[in-house]
Structure 1
């Protein structure tokens, strides 16, 4: 991610605005939870002077109207956040593709004679597409959750600090399991990218040299090589 930070030049102000939008979305979500709590405690479960449970329809109506407004605002902010971060991600990918192609044209002839053209194509397509997916889909989720987590903790402590402390008991095991899964998934993802690159390279080499393959009757050998890579 540090290498991608240079592509944020000229977009840092917009990124800061998206962080504020994410904070507003987190406040809207946690505020909705607190409004539901208030509606139950003071609008539905209300005791009269005789101790009987009665509802306060007026209070409940007001809370419902406020909740709908907060939910609508949260939906708008969420949509703006997803669209804005996706725009930033695609701008970063465009800059990355441009720099990769510029770097490719500056390489020596020796590099192209030693490296397969299909492998180069795989790096410029499938690997960059993977980065694009992370920036366009993963980044909005990451930003939303990073901002929402502290807001949810604060809302939980406001609702019931004792229940909040009990909920924190599961936090250390969750962090340990998440860290373990991160290491395992990273290794699996690297292996997946290597396999996809190898398959893409094999396809590109086969298609570009199909006339030669058919001329020397090497279809079965290329099919066997592809099956070995694709398994």
Structure 2
């Protein structure tokens, strides 16, 4: 809902890094129009708390600890289970494609962790008013990307489970894992951080998978994704 009264905005935080959570708690605690109702290290903790202590805005990291739900699937689950909560994504590494997919999945804004902390406060207020927040420096590039049919098509941002279809049988388990993350909107750098591998290793696995599938880029991966009916 859009805010019209003086009641502080109820905010819940999700980030698996303790230092980040504490920094955000300190930052948001200084704003009289904010009230942080919880700060959580895992999606399970967040969702359990939201059932009894709802929040109007969820400030969530895009890439969480290995084994936790994150990326586009996290956004979709939160949007489905808590439709009254607006989602603002925070990420240390991001690109226009990731942002576009996150917004398609249900996020109301995207903030880079390399932006000034004051930008997060402004982004929260923007989203709380019912608007979408984007880093002004990305707006031109983002608008160009949204003209791409592969990103504009809603089916390019569907949830992805294990990659088990016949077309992917020739891939190694790690190649499948990398492609699944790509389909969930994660960049090579984000995948490397998630699984504790080098960027070079992830890039090599991604391109090896592309060669085996006979595709050349992410757009062709999304098109194959739709054609084989991954879900």
- TM-score, normalization: structure 1? 0.20
Indicate the structure with greater helix content. Answer: 1
Indicate the structure (1 or 2) with the bigger Cα radius of gyration.
1
